[in-house]
Every structure is written in C-alpha cells, then in structure tokens.
Amino acid sequence: MDQNEPGTEEDLSPQELAVLRFLAENEEGKMIPEDTIVVPGYSTQSIRSAVSWVIKKGFVDPESSEVLIYTLGEEGLRSLKDGLPEDLVYKYARKNGQVSLSELNNAMPADLVKIGITQLAKLGLRPSEGILKVDRETELEDEMQRRLQCLRSIMDGNTPSSYCLEVFKKRGDMIVERKIQKRKLRINSRGRLILEKSADDAVGQLTPEMITSGAWKNARFRKYDLNLSTENVSGSFLHPLSYLREEVARIFLDMGFSEMRGHFIEYSGWNMDALFIPQDHPARDMQDTFYIESDAPPEFEDQEILPILKKVHEKGIRGYTGWGYRWSESEAKKLLLRTHTTVSTIRNLYHIGKAPAAIFSIDRVFRHESVDWKHLAELHQIEGAYYAEDANLSTLKWLMEEFYSRLGFSRIRLIPSYYPYTEPSMDVVVEINGKEVELGGSGIFRPEVLKPLGLDKPAIAWGMGLERLAMIYYNLNDIRGIYQSDINWLKSFKLRI
C-alpha cells in the first residue's frame, strides 16, 4: 500500500481495532454496554475515545438508553446510621411493652415519631387511645431487617429490588432516583469487513529502533484522515480571576507602584509580632492560623529585629506603652502559612528603608476558615502601602476611591474599623444591589510598627480580597464558583489581555 496516499476512514488505530474485535467477539447477538468493554493495555479513557471514533467512522451502531440509578437520600443515610424511624419507635415501645405518644414525642423528634407511627400502622401495628402496645413481633422485626438490608444494598451501589423500591420510593428523601444515559454498541457489517481486512501489523508510531534497523522501509503505516470532522476549540483565554488580577496590577503599576514579592511560609515574628499583634491575640490561635511543624526550622531571618520586637511589645516606644506582657522569642520563631500579605508589606518597607516607597502585591494567603459562600480558606489579597512624608488619611481615602473607580465602582465607603497595626483603621465597603459588601481593611500604620524598624515617615496600607472583588465584578452569588472551573461559566468570558 502506498504510504503517501491520503488517509481514509478505513484506517483504524490499534485501540479502535481492539474495540471492534472486542465487540465482534463478545456480541452473541446482543448490544454491548459501553462500560463493559475492556481491552488489556488501554485505559478506560482511551477506550472511550476509540469507541467514539468507531461510531463516527460508521463501523459500530450505538443505541442510547436511559438507565435509572439509585442512591441513598439524606433520610436514607440517616436511617442507615441511626435506625429506621419505624424501628426506633418499635424498639422504644418494646422496652416496656408499651409507650404513650406523648412520651414518644418527648423521647425523639416529632417528625421521626410521625413517620415511625405511620409505617408501623401500615404493618398492622396501631396505637390505640394514644398508647402503642407491642409484644415481640418476630415478623415485624424481620421486616425491619429486610428494609435495612435494602438501604445497605443501595449504599453498596446495587440496583434495588422491586420490593425495596416499593417500600422506599414514596418515602421522602430515603432514596434518590436519577436518570443517566448509557450507550450500548453493536458492530455492524462495515465493521466486520474492516476487521477482516485489517492486518495487525499496521504501524501507528515510528520508533528509533525501526529507523536504525531499517524496518520502516517495509512497514505498513496507519494513515491519518485529515478531513475527519473534529470539535472546534477556541484558543486559550485567561481565567476570569487571572484577568481581574492583571487589571488590578495594571492600575497600581499605572499609579507608580512597584510589585513586591513574599513567601507563603512566614515567621510568626514577621506575620504578627512586627505588626504589633500581641502574642495572645485570638488571630494567632490554631483555630484561625495554619502553623507549620518543622523539626529543623530555618534560622529566623533578620535576627536583629527580635530584641526590638521584644522591647516594643513589652515596654512600648517613646510616648506609647506597649502591651506589657512577657514576650516569647520562640513564639515569634514559629512558622506559619501567612494569614495576610501585610507581612510582605512590612518586610519590604523594612528592607527598602527609605521614603518615598509605593509597593503592592496580589498574592495568596491562607486561613483556617470554614468555607462558605463568601469565605475561602485560600484566597488572594490586594495589598499595598505608600510610605512617604505626605501619606495621610486623605491620601488613603483618595487612593481607595481612585483604585475602585478605575475598576468601575464609583461608590465606595470607608467605615471605621480596628486592626492592631493601624490607627485609624478603615474598612472599604461597596454597595451592590442595596447590600453592603466588605472588600477589605486599610489604615495608617501605628508608630509601634514603623518606628522600631527605623521607619520614621508615615505609611498608609491596605489589604483587600481579590475573590470578593471578583464576586462583584462577575456578579457571582457564591465565592466558591471562582474555583469550580465550570466550563460553561469559563467559556462565557473570553478574556484576553
């Protein structure tokens, strides 16, 4: 066969051939469910892709059918764990041979009693005048076992028997039924023909051995069909969060700020102590902060600041009293995942050392936080500081307004707040659809933060959530949506820079 002849649909890859062979050998006149096809040496994924190709090329006839699958609902899971309502009620009554409904209602949740009583009634056990009397009912107990067995079996992924379905299908959230599409396949006459024609020795890939041995000269190569239709894919675009990050960076760069870098892992001493956060502050708690265990922690960088921090925390500086407790050096040497990027600000200001300095970063921080619609445990902060003779409250207010207005938010508000390292402190909020959303904090660094590090000019600083901003910017109801990578959501933004 001429190797240069254009490829035809008749050329099959080894996987495709293997799939056809499997279908031909296992058919026995039946359609074969796609998920039962196994070909040694190939992953499920490549088999699935081969299946799509042989269908597309017309060697296999598919038939889609709807299949019902069952899983346990919330109530089913609960029943499996704590017992079926009817069983609980029955067992409770059996303890003393009888029980009054009011006693039952005191002993367990009312809805549980209600369901339990209804189910028992269906099994022929009814309360009379508010009293449920039971003897040992072996048949009933067997029935309970059977019901539990149903739940267990569904939990194990089995298809429920018609008996189980009858008992549970109408009962609230016991079992959940879902329809899924499954494909069954059958090789057709074209497929059989090509299978007969195909010798196994078609080569799909040229190897170095074939070249050195010269075997390629006589090999029969598999052909590619360049005319086959394939799905159109668009080029790559930025993720919406990356896009917003670039926008934010652009604004600060345009205003003359330089981007600073920092580290995910930091010393408590820099993350907290240098920012005048006392060592017993709740934010230091393991509840809020991820600490890093290390047998051989690295030496504290910037050793010289340790005695300085001790003095500020214990005694303060001129005109300021400090916190007045015994400061611990080992506490300051602890390693953690930085809880805010203000740590980069203070470290950078210390190392830059002279005014004016305008720095920013958009970087990741970590918090031991339970995740919900407006909280993440890993998030990005838009951080920055301006250290200069003329840094003051109006500069800060102007900067915040200017930054947000460049992003398209014309109405922000600054409200009084508290951070141990700034005075005054202000939170930035924006009003969206009548609701105020908090975007972050800001303020003027306290003298206790700056002076001990040799910084004698004022500095304004801020730290704001990038994901919170993204929520508003992209109109999201749930902050988690940003990281869920829903392909349709991502495709709805074609963000290029």
In contact, 93 and 199? CB cutoff 8 Å: no
Distances (CA, A) of 248 to 129, 255, 374: 72, 11, 20
- Pairwise CA distance, residues 71 & 92, whole Å: 29
Tokens of 197: 């024609």
Options 274, 463, 468, 479; binder of ligand PHE; rule CB under 6 A? 463
Asked whether position 442 contacts ligand PHE by CB under 6 A, the answer is yes
Smallest distance, ligand PHE to C-beta of residue 386, A: 11
Among 417, 419, 416, 430, residue whose Cα is nearest residue 472: 430
In contact, 278 and 419? CB cutoff 8 Å: no
Tokens of 115: 């369901």
Options 14, 160, 240, 443; binder of ligand PHE; rule CB under 6 A? 443
Options 164, 450, 461, 471; binder of ligand PHE; rule CB under 6 A? 461
In contact, 460 and 219? CB cutoff 8 Å: no
- Pairwise CA distance, residues 479 & 396, whole Å: 27
Asked whether position 268 contacts ligand PHE by CB under 6 A, the answer is no
Asked whether position 428 contacts ligand PHE by CB under 6 A, the answer is no
Smallest distance, ligand PHE to C-beta of residue 487, A: 32
Smallest distance, ligand PHE to C-beta of residue 16, A: 56
Smallest distance, ligand PHE to C-beta of residue 180, A: 45
Closer residue to ligand PHE, CB minimum distance, 168 or 276:
276
Closer residue to ligand PHE, CB minimum distance, 78 or 364:
364
Asked whether position 116 contacts ligand PHE by CB under 6 A, the answer is no
- Pairwise CA distance, residues 290 & 365, whole Å: 11
Asked whether position 53 contacts ligand PHE by CB under 6 A, the answer is no
Closer residue to ligand PHE, CB minimum distance, 125 or 439:
439
Type of residue numbered 120: L
Phi-psi region of 276 (alpha: psi -120 to 50; beta: other; left: phi over 0): left
Options 269, 441, 452, 458; binder of ligand PHE; rule CB under 6 A? 441
Closer residue to ligand PHE, CB minimum distance, 191 or 443:
443
Among 136, 132, 141, 137, residue whose Cα is nearest residue 105: 132
Closer residue to ligand PHE, CB minimum distance, 187 or 464:
464
- Pairwise CA distance, residues 172 & 111, whole Å: 12
Asked whether position 422 contacts ligand PHE by CB under 6 A, the answer is yes
Smallest distance, ligand PHE to C-beta of residue 292, A: 19
Distances (CA, A) of 112 to 96, 106, 118, 136, 151: 20, 11, 10, 22, 17
Smallest distance, ligand PHE to C-beta of residue 441, A: 3
Among 446, 458, 461, 454, residue whose Cα is nearest residue 275: 446
With contacts defined by CB under 6 A, name the span among 169-177, 349-357, 439-447, 479-487 that binds ligand PHE.
Answer: 439-447
Asked whether position 462 contacts ligand PHE by CB under 6 A, the answer is yes
Asked whether position 305 contacts ligand PHE by CB under 6 A, the answer is no
Asked whether position 338 contacts ligand PHE by CB under 6 A, the answer is no
Distant-in-sequence, close-in-space partners of 304: CB < 8 Å, separation ≥ 6: none
Smallest distance, ligand PHE to C-beta of residue 313, A: 19
Asked whether position 340 contacts ligand PHE by CB under 6 A, the answer is yes
Closer residue to ligand PHE, CB minimum distance, 79 or 442:
442
Distances (CA, A) of 487 to 47, 165, 239, 493: 24, 36, 11, 10
- Pairwise CA distance, residues 311 & 326, whole Å: 10
Asked whether position 342 contacts ligand PHE by CB under 6 A, the answer is yes
Options 22, 70, 257, 419; binder of ligand PHE; rule CB under 6 A? 419
With contacts defined by CB under 6 A, name the span among 179-187, 283-291, 400-408, 418-426 that binds ligand PHE.
Answer: 418-426
Rule CB under 6 A: which residues touch ligand PHE? 340, 342, 419, 422, 425, 440-443, 461-463
